[in-house]
């Protein structure tokens, strides 16, 4: 049987995945210490960086905690919701498309 070598002339176009920001929102009930704890545990921030972000949330009403692919951003927001509920805090995490 003869051997045939077939060449494919198709170019693969790879696109960067759409990224999403995870934001934490200020409220009148969640303690600043708990927000810092969330930033360290869920978002792997250093203590100093977590405190900076916590003050941004406090002063501006919300702050970006990280930018991730959709699935990871969704998971992080869910982790925040779960930990906040376990600790009886109304801390809100949302995700929005990064432009």
Task: Compute how many other C-beta atoms are within 10 angstroms of the C-beta atom of residue 24.
Answer: 26
At 16 the pLDDT is 85
* Domain span at 30: 19-97
Reported as a single tens digit per residue, the pLDDT across 60-89 is 999 999 999 999 999 999 999 999 999 999
* pLDDT of res. 98: 93
Task: Give the pLDDT mean for 5-12.
Answer: 64
Is the residue at 59 inside a domain?
yes
pLDDT given for residue 2 in this prediction: 65
66 in any annotated domain: yes
pLDDT in tens, 12-40: 788 888 999 999 999 999 999 999 999 99
As for how many domains the chain has, the answer is 1
Judge whether residue 1 has pLDDT over 80. no
């Amino acid at each position: 049987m003869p051997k045939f070598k077939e060449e494919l002339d198709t170019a693969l176009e790879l696109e960067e995945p759409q990224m999403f920001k995870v934001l934490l929102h200020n409220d009148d009930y969640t303690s600043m210490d708990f927000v810092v704890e969330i930033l360290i545990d869920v978002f792997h921030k250093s203590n100093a960086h977590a405190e900076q972000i916590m003050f941004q949330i406090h002063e501006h009403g919300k702050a970006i905690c990280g930018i991730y692919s959709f699935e990871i951003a969704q998971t992080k927001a869910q982790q925040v919701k779960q930990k906040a509920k376990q600790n009886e805090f109304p801390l809100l995490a949302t995700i929005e498309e990064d432009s």
